[in-house]
Amino acid sequence: MPDDSQTLREELQRLREDYETLEHNFDIMSEGYQESLLLYDKLEETYHELEETNQQLEIARRRAEEASRMKTNFIQQISHEIRTPLNILNGFTQILTTPGMELDAATQQEVTQGIDENTNRITSLVNKMLELADANSSDELERNDDVPAVQVAAQAADESGITIAPHLTFDLDMGEGTDVAMLHTNLQQATRALSLVLDNARKFSQPAEAAIVAGAEVKQSRVLLRLAMQDQMLAFIVEDNGIGVPAEESDHIFEEFVQLDNYYDGTGIGLTVARSIARRLGGDIVLDTSFNNPEGGARFVMTLPL
């Protein structure tokens, strides 16, 4: 009987040791399982990050292809637009240099006017290309002019041609204090930037030619230029009821050669140049994505320091 008790105790001891060994192995397995879960979570997170990166790369690739296509279209368009006035000038030159050719006063005036108009067209196109080449510069522009903000607004409106555009009504709204506000800026460059924004509003508030041909109902177009004080900045706010810009395109629209609607004429560089100028003057131009006009349209805000 004593031998049986001793044997039983030894058996219990072995069982206890086996249990402790199993418990220890279980703890190790549990830790390994937890580590595996953490590793799985990290792998899943990495997979989602890679998937998101791939999607961003795909978007970037498509935009790069789009930019390349638009750049090609821009070069083709500029080449065509330069060739046309050059051909006209060549025709006028042949008229003027033809031996024995006598022109009456009316014809001489017509030829002179044609030469001026087409020379200005070529100059404007060359200036556009020079502005585009300068658009990626980060160099600050000299600000040596102290001018009323209303002067910048008035000159930009005249330069853009929006005041005489037959398809729209244009209004200028002076916010509180802006009628006497002074800007320390570069008058020529500030005017140029704002005129490009106004030109964009003028262009895209005009009904597309395809809609006119189809006999679609054409709404009355309106553009408002409103001046407002914003801390130490003056805001030139341009609102229109044209085709509008989707919120997701708020940055893309400022990239070179981007045109969201190919039914409208344009080179796709106006907003690029305008924002470059504004930033180099210490300000900025943004698309206000909170703009909610029942008639549609867009609101661009150009700010310049006082």
* 267-291: pLDDT as tens digits: 678 898 999 999 999 999 999 999 8
Q: From 239, 235, 247, select the one nearest 289 (Cα to Cα).
A: 247
Return the DSSP state at 303.
E
Q: From 214, 252, 239, select the one nearest 292 (Cα to Cα).
A: 239
Write out the chain's pLDDT in tens, 306 residues.
556 677 777 777 777 777 777 777 777 777 777 777 788 778 888 888 888 888 888 887 877 776 676 667 667 666 767 788 888 888 888 877 788 777 788 888 888 888 888 888 788 778 777 877 777 777 899 999 999 999 999 999 999 999 998 888 999 999 999 999 999 999 999 999 999 999 999 988 876 544 444 455 556 789 999 999 998 999 999 999 988 888 888 788 888 766 665 545 556 788 989 999 999 999 999 999 998 888 888 999 999 999
Residue 275 burial (CB < 10 Å; 0-12/13-18/19+)? buried
Place of tokens 């504004």: 278
- Answer for the pair 266, 209: CB distance below 8 angstroms, yes or no: no
Residue 160 burial (CB < 10 Å; 0-12/13-18/19+)? buried
Residues 6+ apart with CB under 8 A from 277: 141, 189, 190, 192, 193
Write down the pTM of the prediction: 0.65
Q: Are strands 221-230 and 168-174 parallel, antiparallel or unpaired?
A: parallel
CA dist 252 and 303 (Å) reads: 19
- Angle 41-45-46 (CA atoms, 0-180°, nearest 5)? 115
